[in-house]
Homo-oligomer: A and B are copies of this chain.
Amino acid sequence: MKTHREEIWLEIPDRRGFRNITPEIERALAKSGIREGLCLVNSMHITSSVFVNDDERGLHADLEKWLERLAPHEPVSGWQHNRTGEDNADAHLKREVLGRGVVVAVTGGKLDFGTWEQIFYGEFDGRRRKRVLVKIIGE
């Protein structure tokens, strides 16, 4: 069995935003030399997500508005967590909707994806450097 571990650092300039990280994951997989196995990709932070969806700008705008409706940032004082001095309670909740991460099959040395699947980092409390973990196991 082989394993490969890598951190991907990124900084979203706004509080919220999405970034396609598929190319970085493909590079990590190529480096690993693994041809059959599983690839775990997860945010190492609890106010952001890694998820698989469509690379379409309108959809990302919809996702952003929809999550803001489900778990609004304002009023900041409406969430108990923010009494600790934070203002990111909504980010902890939004991240639960999209999830912490994904497990992707590796087949023939490639991410085993359907036609439109792409991996995204979803940030809900940005404007600072954050990390995504890639762990691949297989052979």
A112-135 CB contacts (< 8 Å) to partner B? 112-117, 131, 133, 135
A45 CA / B113 CA spacing, docked (Å): 9
CA distance A82 to B59 in the complex (A): 8
- Given known contacts A45-B116, A116-B46, A105 and B62 CB-to-CB distance under 8 angstroms: no
Q: Which residues of B contact A66 (CB under 8 A)?
A: 71, 93
Main secondary structure of the interface of A (DSSP, over half): mixed
C-alpha gap A61/B80 in the complex (Å): 7
B-facing mask of A81-99, CB < 8 A → 1, else 0?
A: 1111000010011011111
Tally of contact residues, A, Cβ under 8 A: 59
| Chain B residues whose CB sits within 8 angstroms of the CB of A62 once the complex forms | 79-81, 89, 92-93
- Among all A-B residue pairs, the 10 with the closest Cβ atoms: A44-B114, A58-B80, A105-B135, A59-B81, A58-B81, A3-B36, A61-B80, A62-B79, A46-B53, A46-B54
